[in-house]
Amino acid sequence: MRRVFKWSLWTVGTIAGLLLLLMSFGPAVYMRMVEPDHEFGSQPPPDPPNYRLRSSWAAWPDDASPAERLPDGFVPTPDTKRPANAFFLHPTSYGGKLSWVQPIDDARARRGTDLGAISRQASAFNDCCRVYAPRFRQSNIMGYQEESYNQIFDIGYQDIRAAFKHFLSETEPNSPIVLASHSQGSFQMVRLIAEEIDRTPLMDRLVAAYVIGHQLSNAVAADLYQDVEICRTPTQFGCLISWDAHEADKAPSGIADSGGQKNWNGTDYSGFAAGPSICVNPVTWTTDSQPSDRSDHVGALEAWTKTTDVDESLGELVVGKVSAYCQQGDGPNWLLVNSDRGEKLKSQGIWAYFGRNLHGSDYSLFWADIRQNATVRVEALLQDRKQALTSNTRAQDLR
């Protein structure tokens, strides 16, 4: 009996030790496993996408688009009832070792993009907007660590810039534009806004930029941009929204909380000095540290436990379970999310042991809140245009 007891203790201890090692070193091991076995520049990059082809777009306003997916009980908004257009940049979905940037025809990356980010993130904008999301030569996750990261990410950016130009040619010249992104997509969106939106006539069309999941320094708005400000109210337009979700009852890891992340600073991707980061609460749409009421939470998608096809529902919408608030400090200001939001909104199985940083849930925890807010902001921009037109007409009548 004593031998059985000792064996049980040894087994439990071994499993606990393995889990601890997995939690501590698992991400690093995975990243090394997907690192290309050659130096960047030693091989030519994959060919760029042709944005005249539908296959070069993960989302396009048609019935085959994964961005048209909805949770149970939702009725699709007719295309004619969507007054705006959304341009979405997806997060990293390429883990191949053959290249430092994704070949556009990589089947695994395409499927991961479509069934992940496009289905569960870009779909949040299919009420207000016709959604466009380009495929681009995204960086392998190890690109952030490579000495040539500026050149690696510039390849993807040139694709994104070309896709944005095509997006503009496909949409009505004065139609409102929503920009949205996550993770690596946000890393690139910062530059796109700086070079193609800020200080240009397109500011008149910008509803908001939802640049989520890549700690953005306050310096992005204060120093890089001149016209684009941080959104501080639910109806403000022409502004920037960002947050990085984290469990409120768990301390961030040292790496995640170090600040000073790589990002576009107007010259290269080396970023800004460590300092306060932007946090806009996606329930209240303010930047203060006041926790939101659960009753104000419009709805989250259930945690992703299995892959579903593009013609299937996104599942049940979970309403009124999330409360969140923004940290206020001199470093990364996390969006802190209540841990008692229910099992349906938490990672399951072995992934639950990694629960701390909610990077993978930045959108899904607030899917319906984002959907509602994007529509409200589009309406606010259109109403402002209408009022301006009325005022101009009256002024001319008085002459």
Domain ranges of the chain: 27-397
Q: Does residue 18 surpass a pLDDT of 50? A: no
C-alpha–C-alpha distance, residues 163 and 171, integer Å:
12
Distance CA 319, CA 366 (A): 10
251-285 pLDDT tens trace: 886 555 545 578 999 999 999 988 999 999 999 99
- Which is more confident, 311 or 177? 177
Question: Rounded to an integer, what is the distance from CA 141 to the centroid of its chain?
Answer: 16
**Closest to 225 in 3D by CA, of 245, 213, 209:** 209
pLDDT one-digit tens code per residue, 22-47? 444 444 555 566 788 889 999 999 99
12 — pLDDT class (breaks 50, 70, 90):
very low
Q: Are 101 and 151 in contact (CB under 8 A)?
A: no
Q: Cα separation of 136 and 163, whole Å?
A: 9
pLDDT for 25 = 43
More reliable by pLDDT, 16 or 239:
239
The CA–CA distances, whole Å, from 236 to 88, 175, 206, 306 equal 20, 17, 11, 37
Separation between Cα atoms, residue 110 and residue 93, nearest integer Å: 8
Mean pLDDT throughout 309-326? 95
Phi-psi region of 315 (alpha: psi -120 to 50; beta: other; left: phi over 0): left
134, 88 contact by CB (below 8 A): no
Which two three-digit tokens encode residue 348? 């399951």
Tokens linked to 108: 């695994």
Percent of the chain with pLDDT over 90: 75
Under the banding of pLDDT at 50, 70 and 90, the label for residue 353 is low
DSSP 78: P
- Write down the residue that tokens 């997060």 correspond to: 91
Are the C-beta atoms of 209 and 369 separated by less than 8 Å? no
Q: Report the run of H or E that residue 336 belongs to, with start and end.
A: strand 335-337
**Mean pLDDT across the stretch 323-349?**
92
Percent of the chain with pLDDT over 70: 86
CA 270 to chain centroid: 20
Q: Which pLDDT tens digit goes with each residue over 142-184?
A: 998 889 999 999 999 999 999 999 999 999 999 999 999 999 9
Calculate the alpha carbon distances from 257 to 32, 87, 316 in Å.
22, 29, 33
Please tell me the distance from the alpha carbon of residue 33 to that of residue 41, in angstroms, as a whole number. Answer: 20
Which residues have a Cβ under 8 Å from the Cβ of 255 and sit 6 or more positions away? none
Closest listed residue to residue 45, CA positions, set 109, 104, 107: 104
Q: Where are the alpha helices (DSSP H) in 203-287?
A: 218-219
- Tell me if residue 361 falls in helix, strand or coil: helix
CA distance 241 to 186: 11
Sheet with strand 335-337: strands edge to edge: 245-247, 335-337, 324-326
Distance CA 27, CA 196 (A): 35
Higher-pLDDT residue of 233 and 4 is: 233
Region 84-111: mean pLDDT is 96
- pLDDT of 91 reads 98
How far is the C-alpha of 34 from the C-alpha of 45, rounded, in Å? 17
- Tell me what the mean pLDDT of segment 368-382 comes to: 98
Place 15 in a pLDDT band, splitting at 50, 70 and 90.
very low
The C-alpha angle with vertex 365 and arms to 359 and 366, in degrees rounded to 5, equals 115
Measured CA to CA in angstroms, residue 342 lies from 104, 250, 346, 366 at distances of 38, 16, 7, 14
Residue 66: exposure state from Cβ atoms within 10 A (0-12, 13-18, ≥19): buried
Tokens representing residue 117 in the block:
């980010």
Q: pLDDT band at 55, cuts 50/70/90?
A: very high
| DSSP-derived secondary structure letter, 248 | T
| Confidence class for position 308, pLDDT limits 50, 70, 90 | confident
Three-state secondary structure call for residue 239 = strand
